[in-house]
Amino acid sequence: MSLFVIADLHLPLGVDKPMDIFRGWDNYVQRLEENWQTVVKPEDTVVIPGDFCWALKLEESLRDFQFLEKLNGTKILSKGNHDLWWQTMRKNEAFLSDNGINSVKLLFNNCYAYGRYGICGTRGWISENGEPADEKVLAREAGRLETSISMAESQGLRPIVFLHYPPVFVYGDNEPMLAVLRRHGIKQCFYGHIHGKDKHAFAVRGMKDGIEYHLVSSDYLQFMPLDITKFVQTDE
């Protein structure tokens, strides 16, 4: 069983908001499906760290979830800034169950086991200008990350972190999120949100202060799920 990750699918099947108006996103839904089915096997797991689809309401996301359901593997989905369809866990899980979406699990104030590892994460946030409202949301997201990681540790699992927003930037570090990562000795962190070659170039990738960062937004990965099994197995 392999572990994959790809963020920012931005599926437009439930609402008319295709991403192919942007450079590099041409025919992206078909490319994603073909790539996914080529590399992901039914027994594998794929983490999707946010921005799953453009639906504004939960019921509008059904076609996107049905598309995801047909793809191979178990999918672990967390929230992104554009996932406005997201409601309470109870409502979300009931919606998935009622519509026969059985291969999707939601990552929110919880964790999932992958062997001896724990898949942990949250949306994250940024506060570029120190606005009080942003600081409040950021503190809440740091708390959710703390909850997720602590839950994995309580089960004897080694945490691996998946975020939507990057916890590190070329113009500064996101200290509330980084404090959680450092406190728990996190070695691997995967994040999305950043789009376009001009912005990809400035994303923090590789080792920084003992943590290895990986940009996994779908356009950066050319809509090919990234096999991270080797990163997990070598994280000793």
User: pTM for this structure?
Assistant: 0.95
CATH number for the domain that contains residue 134: 3.60.21.10
130: confidence class by pLDDT, cuts 50, 70, 90? low
Classify each residue of 60-89 as buried b or exposed e, where b means 16 or more C-beta atoms within 10 Å of its C-beta.
bbbebbebbeebbbbbbbbbbebbbbbeee
Which structure tokens are listed for 190? 């995967």
Give the H or E element holding residue 230: helix 229-233
The structure tokens 């672990």 sit at 76
Find residue 169's DSSP bridge partners: 172
- With a cut of 80, say whether residue 232 has pLDDT above it: no
Label the pairing between strands 45-49 and 74-78: parallel
pLDDT above 70: percentage of residues in the chain: 96
Q: How far apart are CA 188 and CA 41, in angstroms?
A: 23
Query: What is the tens place of the pLDDT at every residue in 177-218?
Result: 999 999 999 999 999 999 988 888 888 898 999 999 999 999
Q: How far apart are CA 169 and CA 202, in angstroms?
A: 8
Split into its structural domains, the chain has a count of: 1
- With a cut of 80, say whether residue 64 has pLDDT above it: yes
pLDDT (average), residues 210-235 = 90
pLDDT above 90: percentage of residues in the chain: 79
The answer for residues whose C-beta is within 8 angstroms of residue 113's C-beta and 6 or more apart is 119, 152, 155, 157
Mean pLDDT over each residue of the chain, to the nearest integer: 93
DSSP summary character for residue 173: E
Query: What is the tens place of the pLDDT at every residue in 138-173?
Result: 999 999 999 999 999 999 999 999 999 999 977 668
Which structure tokens are listed for 162? 């998946």
Give me the domain span that covers residue 217.
3-233
126: confidence class by pLDDT, cuts 50, 70, 90? confident
